[in-house]
Amino acid sequence: MSKKPDLHFSDGWIPAARQVHSPNSNRRPEGALVELIVIHNISLPPGDYGGGFIEALFTNQLDPHAHPYFQTLIGLQVSAHFLVRRTGELLQFVSTEDRAWHAGQSRWCGRENCNDFSLGIELEGTDDDLYTDAQYDQLKGLIEALWCCYPSLSPEAIVGHCDIAPGRKTDPGPAFDWQRLAKDLGATLARPGSK
């Protein structure tokens, strides 16, 4: 069994993560604290895993002719701080000190524009495909590292994209096991259905 990488931070980056810098980011507003973790899912094309299409999307290099679905993504400029592959591989696209463009129009606890104060974690998957043990293991370690780095984060501030953009987004979907995440973290999550 291989040793898990040490998930410590250096200037907003995790050295153990594969770094793929995204231009789809900018500085957080002055004085903004990191107070929210948003869990997403992504696969490109939908339901296909592996390959470099997610990285291409987050770096504005996705060939719109590589798959018919990609025509719907032309001009889209998005990113997340992290991506956890099905294998558990961790990629980082944006410094945690900066604002990644992952949440879109969003609201949490009466506050708009969640990108300003959140971290986005993408899980390679779909709403309906079960996530892998390797992904849950990596997600646990990542969240614990984020808690150590940002005391402003708490278990009550871990949500799905569906929770901050209801009616517009459904991820991480019913396939995501919130109870397992809560148990793995040894914490009570405020997210509905996670207790």
Q: Which of 89, 112, 122, 156 is catalytic?
A: 122
In the three-class reduction of DSSP (H, G, I as helix; E, B as strand; rest coil), residue 120 is classed as strand
Q: pLDDT tens track of the chain, all 195 residues?
A: 334 446 778 789 999 999 999 999 999 999 999 999 999 999 999 999 999 999 999 999 999 999 999 999 999 999 999 999 999 999 999 999 999 999 999 999 999 999 999 999 999 999 999 999 999 999 999 999 999 999 999 999 999 999 999 999 999 999 999 999 999 999 988 765 544
Name every residue whose Cβ is closer than 8 Å to that of residue 94 and which is 6 or more positions away in sequence.
Answer: 21, 22, 24, 25, 79, 80, 81, 100
Residue 63: Cβ-neighbour burial (10 angstroms; 0-12, 13-18, 19+): exposed
**Hey, what amino acid is at 6?**
D
pTM summary value: 0.94
- Residue type at 170 in one-letter notation: T
Q: At what angle do helices 133-149 and 178-185 cross, to 10 degrees?
A: 50
Q: Indicate if 122 belongs to the active site.
A: yes
Question: What's the CATH number of domain 18-185, 1.25.40.10, 3.40.80.10, 3.40.630.10, 3.40.190.10?
Answer: 3.40.80.10
**Which of helix, strand or coil describes residue 124?**
strand
